[in-house]
Amino acid sequence: MTQTTDWQAFSQTVNFRHQAYINGQYQDAVSGETFASINPATEQVLADVAACDAADIDMAVANAREVYRSGVWSQMAPAERKRILLKVADVMEQHSDELALLDTLDMGKSIQQPLSFDVPDAIDCFRWSAECIDKVYGEIAPTSNELLGLITRNPIGVIGAITPWNYPLLMACWKLAPALAAGNSVVLKPSEKASLSLLRLAELAVEAGLPKGVLNVAPGFGHTAGKALALHPQVDSLAFTGSTRVAGMLMEYAGQSNLKQVWIEAGGKSPVLVFDDCEDLQAAAATVAAGIFSNQGEVCIAGSRLYLQKSIKEAFLAALVDAAQEYLPGDPLDPDVTMGPMVDKAQLDTVAQYIQSAVDEGARVICGGLPQYREGKGFYARPTVITDIHNQMKFVQEEIFGPVLAVGEFESEAEAIALANDNQYGLASCIWSDNLSRVHRVSRQIEAGMVWVNTWGDGDQTMPFGGIKASGNARDKSLHALEKYTELKSVWINLKGAE
Ligand code: NAD
């Protein structure tokens, strides 16, 4: 279907799920309130979505707790959970075009992005998590002969998941798949800026055989639905992806309520270091451009701080500006377009404010620049490259979450490392060099959860994804993701018997 899909025509036929999905059925918010989901490419309302608040969250959590205790999912044999989750993945695959379209309409990413990455990766995550769950063994402890010590990994209970809008389906699936595989019940609060694909996914999962009430989706705002979920005493663990600011609030809510675990995947301001021993500067420039301009720069790992060794700076900048031309914004439903609009007017204004602050602080825009907004025509920014920076400039230090690249320079390896580490975030980083010793040295010293060398953004389910410092404390994907969704239990069994 994908090759021939007329996306405009298809978008007219989609039936938007707009109610909360609790205990296997759609329902309005208890208050009856809704909020508008806006298509950022047209500024038109797609749907009026249920605005859940504490009352809905109470209902969803109570239901999730009851289902968890019933054992219908939590006590099911892992091989059987695997079978059902593989079916969920199959059903997602059958609805790939629809899920991709929902994310594009909801938050503006170019349709080629969810078709080629977000949706396939979300499906992979379900398959991978399903496949691993009946291969996770417990341990027998080296206790004395009179006692048997069993160490098992058990589901935690009710997981509250709170997710962002930049990869709406994918960021949630990185949490849902391992959390469900491990046997937990989940209440998901998606971003109020993009909840449509997840409201549909919940229904598809039940169609595929997931017992009702195991996965509940309660859309709504952060300060109402999100806060209620994070404060809820019956939520055992929070899995969060979003900003560092909100992550801090969640930790406070956990402290004020039941000391629930708070697993955080937060913001980033990732450095890219290009050394003069990088042999293919053209390829590097094209990848650096993709690292900041794809998905409109609304990417947590975006390589938004580029540091070039002085001797290659001019040649690299010329190649980079050329490469930026590949990201001219346009209608995200056109499969040839590589950059859609920003998610909303507020995000567009944020981008404009940071570009203006860069200019005010003396930096120089060499490509792109301030957005040229026309009311009613979508929230389009331009791929922007800014040079003549120093590291204390506001736009160099803070996460913009838009297509804005700051470019600095360095003389020595030590200076490059110091510049890279001079930031509160520690999510991702990138090194371009064909000197293997240098690559090892620098990757060890760089303060980031992930380092890409002579590439950017590659990822499959086998490697953990996450950061350090203000970028968080958790990892999605790989077997390490299961650490967030299982608890160790120690069981002592007396072997002496009654004699
Ligand atoms: P955000 O922090 O504003 O919102 C994230 C979620 O938190 C949303 O669902 C929101 O409704 C909710 N929320 C807001 N206030 C809340 C509160 N008081 N209590 C409970 N929940 C609340 O982030 P965003 O704008 O949706 O997403 C962008 C951010 O996400 C960026 O900082 C980006 O770097 C980060 N991100 C990180 C990763 C990663 O893996 N590290 C991946 C994607 C995005």
Whether residue 262 is found in the same domain as residue 403: no
**For 293-317, what is the mean pLDDT?**
98
Q: Is 427 in the pocket of ligand 1 (CB under 6 A)?
A: yes
Are 191 and 217 in contact by the 8 Å Cβ rule? The answer is no
- Which residue's CA is the closest to the ligand 1 atom numbered 13? 222
Cβ distance 445 to 468 under 8 Å? no
Q: Tell me if 407 is assigned to some domain.
A: yes
Task: Name the phi and psi angles at 245, rounded to 5.
Answer: -60, -50
265 Cβ inside 6 Å of ligand 1: yes
Model confidence at 332: pLDDT above 70: yes
Cα 470 to averaged position of ligand 1 atoms, centre (Å): 13
Residue 499 located in a structural domain: no
Note whether 262 and 281 are same-domain residues.
no
**Residue 467 within a domain:** no
Q: What pLDDT sits at residue 496?
A: 85
> Which is the catalytic residue, given 300, 399, 409, 430?
300
Beta carbons of 332 and 104 less than 8 angstroms apart = yes
**Is residue 164 assigned to a domain?**
yes
pLDDT of residue 433: 98
Residue 354 maps to a domain: yes
496 domain residue, yes or no: no
Residue 4 has pLDDT above 80, yes or no: no
The 10s digit of each residue's pLDDT in 437-457 is: 999 999 999 999 999 999 999
Q: Quick: pLDDT tens for 369-413.
A: 999 999 999 999 999 999 999 999 999 999 999 999 999 999 999
Expressed in angstroms and rounded, the spacing between residue 191 Cα and the centre of ligand 1 is 7
Q: Closest Cα to residue 50, out of 204, 164, 221, 202?
A: 221
162 with 287, same domain: the answer is: no
Q: Is residue 221 assigned to a domain?
A: yes
Q: 250 with 284, same domain?
A: no
**Within a domain: residue 498?**
no
Question: Which of 229, 244, 246 is the pocket-test mutation for ligand 1 (most atoms within 8 Å of CB)?
Answer: 246
Mean pLDDT to the nearest integer, 154-182:
98
The reply to whether ligand 1 has any atom less than 6 angstroms from the CB of 251 is no
Furthest C-alpha separation in the chain: 86
CATH of the domain at 342: 3.40.309.10
The position carrying tokens 């969060």 is 240
Whether residue 300 sits in one domain with residue 191: no
CA distances from 14 to 10, 104, 180, 200, 290 (A): 7, 13, 28, 11, 31
| pLDDT tens sequence across 176-223 | 999 999 999 999 999 999 999 999 999 999 999 999 999 999 999 999
Tally the domains of the chain: 2
Q: Indicate whether 2 pLDDT > 90.
A: no
Q: Residue 86 is which amino acid? A: L
Is 265 assigned a catalytic role? yes
Please give the average per-residue pLDDT across 461-483, as a whole number: 97
Interval 226-248: pLDDT, tens = 999 999 999 999 999 999 999 99
**Ligand 1 midpoint to CA 356 (Å):** 24
List the residue whose alpha carbon is closest to atom 28 of ligand 1.
242
Query: What per-residue confidence (pLDDT) applies to 498?
Result: 57
Q: Please report the pLDDT score of residue 499 as a whole number.
A: 58
What's the confidence (pLDDT) of residue 497? 74
Percent of the chain with pLDDT over 70: 99
pLDDT confidence of residue 133: 98
Q: What is the pLDDT of residue 276?
A: 98
Q: Ligand 1: distance of its center to the CA of 246 in Å?
A: 6
Domain CATH number, residue 214: 3.40.605.10
Position 492 pLDDT exceeds 80: yes
Whether residues 258 and 277 share a domain: the answer is no
Domain check: are 99 and 226 in the same one? yes
Pair 288, 249 in one domain: no
In this prediction the pTM is 0.98
Mean pLDDT, range 148-159, rounded to an integer: 97
| Domain with 308 in it | 271-460
40 by DSSP, 3-state: which? coil
State the chain's mean pLDDT as an integer. Answer: 97
Ligand 1 atom with least separation from CA of 427: 41
Q: Name the residue of 191, 192, 250 to mutate for ligand 1: max ligand atoms within 8 A of Cβ.
A: 191
Same domain, yes or no, for 138 and 14?
Answer: yes
Distance CA(239)–CA(405), nearest Å, equals 30
CB 340 within 8 A of CB 382: no
Which of these is catalytic: 192, 265, 298, 399? 265
pLDDT value, residue 5: 82
**What confidence score (pLDDT) does residue 84 get?**
98
**C-alpha–C-alpha distance, residues 473 and 449, integer Å:** 10
Residues 257 and 342 in one domain: no
pLDDT tens for each residue of 41-91: 999 999 999 999 999 999 999 999 999 999 999 999 999 999 999 999 999
Q: Are residues 74 and 217 in the same domain?
A: yes
Q: Is 300 a catalytic residue?
A: yes
Q: How much of the chain, in percent, has pLDDT values that exceed 90?
A: 98
Number of H helices, E strands in the chain: 17, 21
Please check whether residues 303 and 224 belong to one and the same domain: no
Confidence of residue 94 (pLDDT cuts 50, 70, 90): very high
In this prediction, residues 469-477 reach a mean pLDDT of: 98
Our answer on whether the CB atom of 402 is closer than 6 Å to any ligand 1 atom is no
